[in-house]
Structure 1
Amino acid sequence: MNSSPVVIKVGGALLDDAAAMQKLFLSIKQVSESRPVAVVHGGGPLVETLMASLGLASTKIDGLRVTPDEHMPYICGALAGAANKQLCAAAIASGLTPVGLSLLDGNMVVCQPMAQKYGAVGIPSTADASFLKSALAQATLPIISSIGSSPEGRLLNINADQAATVVAELLDAELLLLSNVDGVLDADKQLIEVLEQDSIAELAKAGVITDGMKVKVDAALQSANTLGLPVYIASWTADITDILNKITGTQILPKSQAPEHGVLGDAL
């Protein structure tokens, strides 16, 4: 029986769906009886709402939120504060014992600033897994926001998919990228069970994988190649055991596991 850890990444939109949140945490509770689980989260919609209410402009370059240092107190408050504690409270309601964390806690992850044009946006890399592994060994559920720090102590905003990948790398864990979609759909709106680099490129060229799903699939492929393990794109309303057993969702294969002629073969 597989007892390796599972890292589950959820987007901030989950906070607007109380029923989905409850279902997810009940599913996590079931899985956590046999495998350690950690949750990594973003909080884009919450940040957008807060910035608008404060009259602060929010812009993106290449899909990344430009984050001036003077905005970081608000973004930290939204992600490491409000979003993190909402998720922790929902976990408690489902009978779990959450520990609310950020990437910078326990020296888990070290972050370096990206190009200056992005502001306080960073790239994460693994540092010390001992604190996180200790938390998991105590049967707690780490719920980790995508706020990091440079070695000099500068707070940095981290893309949540990248944050989840580095936590999965830290734990040598399976990674699930969960959102409000069932997985990747083909041209006939049917779920695609398995994808790898060549088939992703073909479907993107054919206009089947576009926009937000293209960003998600590219992030999953990058994560799969980093981890050397399949990464799952699935719905946060699905049973996690079903996702891990490949009953639902889309598996994104790393280069090392991709078949020679692509998983779609001559189907395109």
Structure 2
Amino acid sequence: MIVKYGGNAMKSPELRRAVAGEIAALRAEVPVVVVHGGGPVIERELAARGVPSEFAQGLRVTSPEAMDVVEMALTTLGKGLAQDIGWALGLTGRDCGLLRAEVLDAQLGRVGRVTGVGADVLRTLLGAGLTPVIGSVAVAPDGGALNVNADTAAGAVAGALGQGVIFLTDVDGVYRQFPDPASRASQLTRAEVEGGIAQGWIGGGMIPKVRAALDALGRGAPFAVIASGMEAGVLARAARGEAGTRVVP
């Protein structure tokens, strides 16, 4: 199982430790790969160093100076998460070429689009009983670092391994009538997602989440789940299809 973890769900150290415990528990049932971002932590570190923070096309504009801070923040965050999980390795996509990417748009700076995944390396680590914890930094053709969207990175890993992916976020799924929790869809097909976007009941911040799920399917993942990482006990239930919204082909 691939678990994408990041964003607001990582703000609280106590919550991070609780989720780490859930990841360790899930690993007792199935091998797990964690892919993480860390927007709030990156934002804090950039501000502390006086590095400007700018977004365009929903992505962080990443100057070379900002890239250094992003990589440092994600590396530190990943090491802590791996330590909390136990028997895990905190890595970034630059280690052993786990994530390879090309520049997405020159106007965005050091922002990349994932073009390859070191699936054999991941299988070797999983075979040794280790949990890879991968920060969403990729290696560019020039050997430098590229900042990649953690959702799409997780989808690429899921596709390369042919496994499902759970996106832990700050909402508990896709609502057919937002914000009515009773309207949460337990499962949606690709066609239903596209129809929901066209009809407007999937909108706002949910659109990039479902797009990431569809991207994972397009790369070969059999399913993707959007679930809340803000409450305890969700991960195991999401893996069993009992929480969140499962998106299928």
TM-score, length of structure 1 as denominator length: 0.84
1:217 to 2:190 alignment? no
1:129 to 2:119 alignment? yes
In the alignment, which of 168, 183, 195 is matched to residue 202 of structure 1? 195
Alignment of structure 1 residues 40-189 onto 2, 5 Å: 40-81=35-76, 83-91=77-85, 96-187=86-177, 188-189=180-181
Check whether the contact 2:188–2:247 (CA below 8 A) recurs between aligned residues: yes
Cα 1:10/1:73, change in 2 over 3 Å: same
| Runs of at least 5 residues in structure 1 that lack an aligned partner in the other structure | 1-5, 255-268
1:230 to 2:220 alignment? no
The aligned amino acid for 1:218 is R
SS at 1:227 equivalent: coil
Post-superposition CA distance 1:59-103 (Å, at most 9, x none): 11111111012221111111122x212312322xxxx21101111
Work out the CA distance in 2 between the residues paired with 1:246 and 1:134.
28
Equivalence for 2:3: 8
The aligned amino acid for 1:214 is I
> Structure 1 segments of 4 or more deviating over 6 A?
none
The aligned amino acid for 1:90 is D
Post-superposition CA distance 1:221-267 (Å, at most 9, x none): 1212222511100112343332122111101122xxxxxxxxxxxxx
Work out the CA distance in 2 between the residues paired with 1:205 and 1:133.
39
The aligned amino acid for 1:195 is L
Check whether the contact 2:4–2:151 (CA below 8 A) recurs between aligned residues: yes
Check whether the contact 1:15–1:86 (CA below 8 A) recurs between aligned residues: no
SS at 2:147 equivalent: strand
Q: Number of aligned residue pairs: give it.
A: 244
Work out the CA distance in 2 between the residues paired with 1:18 and 1:70.
27
Check whether the contact 1:146–1:157 (CA below 8 A) recurs between aligned residues: yes
Task: Between 201-210 and 51-60, report the one with greater CA deviation.
Answer: 201-210
The structural deviation recorded for 1:127 is: 4.2
| Runs of at least 5 residues in structure 2 that lack an aligned partner in the other structure | none
TM-score, length of structure 2 as denominator length: 0.90
The aligned amino acid for 1:121 is V
Check whether the contact 2:164–2:222 (CA below 8 A) recurs between aligned residues: yes
Check whether the contact 1:15–1:87 (CA below 8 A) recurs between aligned residues: no
Equivalence for 1:261: none
What's the Cα RMSD here?
1.8
SS at 1:195 equivalent: strand
Work out the CA distance in 2 between the residues paired with 1:232 and 1:69.
34
Equivalence for 2:248: 253
- Tell which structure's C-alpha radius of gyration is larger: 1
1:191 to 2:192 alignment? no
Check whether the contact 2:98–2:118 (CA below 8 A) recurs between aligned residues: yes
The structural deviation recorded for 1:197 is: 3.2
